[in-house]
Amino acid sequence: MKDKIVSPENQAMLLREVEIEPTEEVLENTLEKSVLAAYRELLKIITNDFDLEYEWRFYKDGKAWLFKAIHRKKTIFWLSAWDRSIKTSFYFTEKARSGIFDLPINGEIKEQFDKAKAVGKLIPLTLEIERKEQFRDFREIVKYKKGLK
């Protein structure tokens, strides 16, 4: 058993075995049903509505499989799988930061982002998605990020 990464919400990060690629079958056997439904909805949204490409890749530094959504060569967001949710992480420059506060998204997301500490020169914005009903804010943030130059 690999070391577990546990988030502040006491969730364990999944997909930690380098030799087990996150295929559809693996995801079906790993994710809770509601989380799997949310993941499938996310795939529909990013491919049909935003024309994004994606790939799963194992990252040795984080010791986990991460999903990267891209538009042309630009990374739009990263996704990680947890035992009760999927987490999408967007990274913004200081210049692009202020635009988040103009988006029609949940105030708690804006508050969390306002308090976020920079990682190098980028400021992270992470959404924790447990159910497919939570995609309104996700769509707004993807649209904003994709439109940035």
Strand partners, 78: 68, 89
Q: Which residues, at least 6 apart from 136, have a Cβ–Cβ distance to it below 8 Å?
A: 105
Domains and CATH numbers, the chain: 24-147 (3.90.1150)
Q: Would you state the structure tokens that stand for residue 65, as one six-digit string?
A: 């499989």
User: Could you tell me the two tokens for 102?
Assistant: 């103009």
pLDDT score recorded for residue 9: 61
Residue spans of alpha helices (H) in 31-134: 33-44, 94-100, 107-115
So what's the pLDDT on residue 86? 96
Series of mean pLDDT values for 10-residue runs along the chain (149 residues): 52 95 96 94 97 97 96 97 95 97 96 96 96 91 96
pLDDT for 149: 86
Burial 59-73, CB ≥16 within 10 A → b, else e: eeeeebbbbbbebee
Model pLDDT for residues 70-101, shown as the tens digit of each residue: 999 999 999 999 999 999 999 999 999 999 99
Give the pLDDT of residue 14.
96
Separation between Cα atoms, residue 119 and residue 38, nearest integer Å? 27
* Other residues' Cβ atoms within 10 Å of the Cβ of residue 139: 14
